[in-house]
Amino acid sequence: MKFYSTADKSNLVSLREAVLSGMPNDNGLYMPESIPRLPESFFKSMTSMDYQSLSFEIARQFLSGDIPASVLQDIIHEAINFPTPLVDIEDRIKTLELFHGPTLAFKDVGARFMSRLMAYLVKDSDHKLTILVATSGDTGGAVANGFYRVPGIDVIVLYPAGKISLIQEKQMATLGENITDLKVNGTFDDCQRLVKAALVDPDIKKSLMLTSANSINIFRLIPQTFYYFNALRQIENFRSRSIVISVPSGNFGNLTAGLIAKRMGLPVQRFIAATNVNHVVPDYLNSGKFEPKPSIQTISNAMDVGNPSNFSRILDLYDSSWKKIKEDIQGVYFTDDETRQAITSVKKITGYTLDPHGAVGYLGLKKYLTQHQEVDTGLFLETAHPAKFKDIVEPVIQDSVEIPERLADFLTREIQTHALSNQYTDFKEFLLTNSN
């Protein structure tokens, strides 16, 4: 399959180019030339398939002809080796738990798949691949651990100083070896800006083979479609139900993956784009105007994004039609106080502990269901384990949050990081100096 740039649909490239360059030189983002619609037979047999078989069938729609089936099977087997269970919370409300991977965040799915795909694509290369990733929290840990000790690949993670949790920082900044971490004096938007600038800088491209592992990269995003299908696989008679999904959203890669799944035929009636007070997309959905703003720090820090990259992909999917986008997506946003109240009430009523991001998704779904009594099944994505935000969650629920062993191990390690300004000239100098 070929891939085009959202800035120029005539700019078609191969799978290898799309994956290993990360983004086009025209500052657009890559999209698949076509989004295949799965046959009716697939949906009839979906409930009898296991998660890995399901993922393979979806992945080969995009990779058949470029990646041998046996290699793709191996990639799926190694990357999709943990569950994404659907859990009942309240009447009409279920949550899809996406935190059962190595770093306890939903981004493990995309990062692990992409790391193995990239390793295959560069296995015969004479040049080392350098991956740049900007993170507002969980992406950095998932990518760092997904690519840790992968031959032929170095990773540089940029994260905003003082704006992520200690656990998130420890998960990505304690590994060393082929993982380098840069603590940027700025916001996530600054980190993302630096990465995007470097990816299209001709001076740097002469010295380094660069790509991105954010959802900027189309193959960090496509594997995220897998768990949307896996969610419905776990619902009895899903094809006859009215289903909506609430997605806690920051850079909007997760929601874009859901929209791609819907385009492939997944029977979801509507998506809810639930954000914190960084609400430029909900504002767009209400007004038709997209106006990026500086990001605001919140307790759901992975969603602190003021200029989400994947918004351009959403526009592309719907030919920039505000009317069409509004038919499939409703936008809502919530304050930190509302998020804390949701964590408290859900814990008190159901015994379930939400993380701050999942709480925003829950609030979005709860509001929608109140307004749409005809919907019989609502899902929200629980994107990270609450233990990753224990300093926020524990005072709210007035109880301790058990830390899984694989997370506790990170807390014993020493942070290894480099301080960096938010100026591109300094980042460029760092890259060129360390490429020699």
Task: Check whether 228 has a pLDDT greater than 90.
Answer: yes
Distance CA 214, CA 387 (A): 23
The predicted model scores a pTM of: 0.90
pLDDT band at 82 (very low <50, low <70, confident <90, very high): very high
Mean pLDDT of 86-109: 94
Q: HSE of 43 in the Cβ direction (CA atoms, 13 Å)?
A: 18
Distance CA 211, CA 140 (A): 15
Residue at 284: amino acid letter: Y
Task: Check whether 436 has a pLDDT greater than 80.
Answer: no
Task: Check whether 15 has a pLDDT greater than 80.
Answer: yes
Q: Are 385 and 407 in contact (CB under 8 A)?
A: yes
Q: HSE of 421 in the Cβ direction (CA atoms, 13 Å)?
A: 6
According to the model, what pLDDT value does residue 426 have? 96
Q: Are 84 and 227 in contact (CB under 8 A)?
A: yes
According to CATH, the topology of domain 76-104+221-404 is Rossmann fold (3.40.50)
Mean pLDDT of 197-221: 87
Distance CA 147, CA 27 (A): 25
Which has the higher per-residue pLDDT, 57 or 23?
A: 57
Note the pLDDT tens digit of each residue in 251-291.
999 999 999 999 999 999 999 999 999 999 999 999 999 99
According to the model, what pLDDT value does residue 435 have? 63
According to the model, what pLDDT value does residue 35 have? 97
Bridge partners of 130?
154, 210
Q: Are 76 and 52 in contact (CB under 8 A)?
A: yes
- Which residues neighbour 135 within 8 Å (Cβ) at sequence distance 6 or greater? 141, 143, 157, 158, 159, 164, 172, 188, 191, 214
Where do we find the tokens 């007070």? 277
Instruction: Tell me, rounded to whole angstroms, the distance of Cα 71 from its chain centroid.
Output: 24
Q: Are 89 and 350 in contact (CB under 8 A)?
A: yes
Note the pLDDT tens digit of each residue in 307-346.
998 999 999 999 999 999 999 999 999 999 999 999 999 9
Distance CA 314, CA 167 (A): 32
Average pLDDT, the chain: 93
According to the model, what pLDDT value does residue 127 have? 80
Domain ranges of the chain: 76-104+221-404
Note the pLDDT tens digit of each residue in 156-200.
999 999 888 888 899 889 888 999 999 999 998 899 899 989 988
According to the model, what pLDDT value does residue 138 have? 73
Which has the higher per-residue pLDDT, 212 or 432?
A: 432
Residue (of 322, 319, 326, 356) closest to 341 by Cα position: 356
Give the angle subtended at the CA of 385 by the CAs of 415 and 310, to the nearest 5°.
Answer: 85
According to the model, what pLDDT value does residue 287 have? 95
Distance CA 371, CA 141 (A): 37
Task: Check whether 351 has a pLDDT greater than 60.
Answer: yes
